Amino acid sequence: MTSKDDIRDFLVSRRANVTPAQAGIDDFGGERRVAGLRRAEVAELAGVSLDYYTRLERGNIRGASDSVLNAIARALLLNDVERAHLFDLARGITPSSAVQEDLRGRSNPDVRTSVQRVLDNLAVPAVVCNCQQDLIAGNLMGRALLPQHFEAERPNLARFIFLDSRARDYYVDWPLACSLTAAMLRYEAGRDPLNGELTTLVGELSMRSPQFRKDWADQDVHEHRTGTKAYRHPEVGEVTVTYDVFAIPGEPGLSIITYTAEEGSETADKFALLSAWAATHNQQR
C-alpha cells in the first residue's frame, strides 16, 4: 500500500495545512500560489536544501536519516501520530514475518478463552478489534451498545460507518466518525503496508463510498487511544461514552476497547437500562 504517491500526498497535504504565521514566517501580503507553506520555506525550516526536500516530497524518502525526518516533522508541525506515520512511510516498517502471518491469518478469528472471560467479567461495554476494525469479540454489553454493527456476518466498524445507511443516525456526529475512521485506517496502512486484508478493505470502501474517498484524500492520520463518542442507540437513546483502547498481550494486532460513562451521568443511567435490555434480548435469542 505504501508508495511514492503515498509519501508525496502526505507531505503535500501537511505542507498545505501550515500557514506562514504558524511557522513563524513573515509574509508581507504577497500573493501565494500554494496553500500553506512553499517547498522552499519547508526546506529552510528543516535545514535542508530545496533540491533535497523536493526529492523527498516526490517520494524519494528511503534512506533519509532520523534527524532529517525529525527536522521535517518539526517544520510541518506534525503531531506525534503524524510524525510516526512519516517514519513508517519512510522506512516501510512492517511487522516481522511471523507477526504478519498471525495478523493476516485472522480472516475470521476468535480471541482466546481467557480474553473472552475478561470481557465477560467487565461491568462496562467492551469489544475486541483488529487493525482493520473487524469486531472480533465482545461482551454482552458491548454487543448491546453496538447492536447494528454485530448484525453483519463479519462485523466491521469501518464498513458499518461508511456503507450502512443506519450509521448516519447512530453516530451523532457522523462526518467526524467518518473522518476519524479513514484517518485510523491510513495510520494502520502506514504501519503495515503489506496487510492484504487492510488493502482490500480500503479498496472496497474507496469503490463503494464517496464519503470515504473524500476523507481518505485528506491524508489525515489518527491513532485510536482514548476519547469520547456520542451514539443514538435504538433502544435507550443518545449516550455519550468515553472509550479507551488496550493492546492484548500475546495477541498481535488485537485491542480491547472499553466504553464507560461518568458515575451519576445520564449515560450511566442509560447503561443500566442497556444492561437490562441486553439480558432480556439475550434470553430471547
pLDDT per position as a tens digit, 67-116? 999 999 999 999 999 999 999 888 874 443 334 444 443 444 678 899 99
| Confidence label for 1 from pLDDT (cuts 50, 70 and 90) | very low
Average per-residue pLDDT for the chain:
88
The hierarchical CATH code for the domain 4-91 is 1.10.260.40
The CATH number that domain 100-284 falls under is: 3.30.450.180
Q: Are strands 237-247 and 226-233 parallel, antiparallel or unpaired?
A: antiparallel
Reference 224, options 50, 81, 84; nearest CA is 81
Q: How far is CA 175 from CA 40, 171, 212, in A?
A: 35, 9, 10
pLDDT at 175 over 50: yes
What is the predicted pLDDT for the residue at 92? 75
Q: Which residue from 8, 243, 40, 13 is spatially nearest to 126, judged by alpha carbons? A: 243
Q: What was the pLDDT predicted at 101?
A: 42
Going from the C-alpha of 283 to that of each of 59, 121, 278, the distances in angstroms are 56, 18, 9
Instruction: State the average pLDDT over residues 47-55.
Output: 91
According to the model, what pLDDT value does residue 95 have? 43
Q: Name the pLDDT band for 29 (thresholds 50, 70, 90).
A: low
From the number of C-beta atoms within 10 Å of its C-beta (0-12, 13-18, 19+), residue 97 rates as exposed
What is the structure's pLDDT at 258?
97
Q: Are 159 and 166 in contact (CB under 8 A)?
A: no
State what percent of residues in the chain have pLDDT above 70: 90
Predicted confidence at residue 109, as pLDDT, reads 61
Q: Is the dihedral of CA 194, 195, 198, 204 positive or negative?
A: positive
pLDDT value at residue 20? 87
Residue 233 has pLDDT above 80, yes or no: yes
pLDDT in the model for residue 64: 86
What are the sequence ranges of the domains in the chain?
Answer: 4-91, 100-284
Task: Identify the pLDDT of residue 103.
Answer: 40
Ranked by mean pLDDT, the top range of 50-54, 70-74, 175-179 is 175-179
Minimal CA–CA distance to 156: which of 101, 215, 204, 121? 204
Nearest to 139 by CA among 160, 152, 156, 121: 121
Model confidence at 162, pLDDT cuts 50, 70, 90, reads very high
| Per-residue pLDDT band at 30 (split at 50, 70, 90) | low
Closest CA to 267 of 148, 141, 173: 141
Q: Is residue 31 within 8 Å of residue 13, measured between CB atoms?
A: no
Confidence of residue 62 (pLDDT cuts 50, 70, 90): confident
Phi-psi region of 133 (alpha: psi -120 to 50; beta: other; left: phi over 0): left
Q: How far apart are CA 126 and CA 111, in angstroms?
A: 13
Contact 139, 119 (CB under 8 A): yes
C-alpha cell at 103: 495478523
Tell me the mean pLDDT in the region 263-280.
90
- Beta pairing partners, 144: none
The pLDDT assigned to 15 comes to 92
User: What's the pLDDT band for 124 if we cut at 50, 70, 90?
Assistant: very high
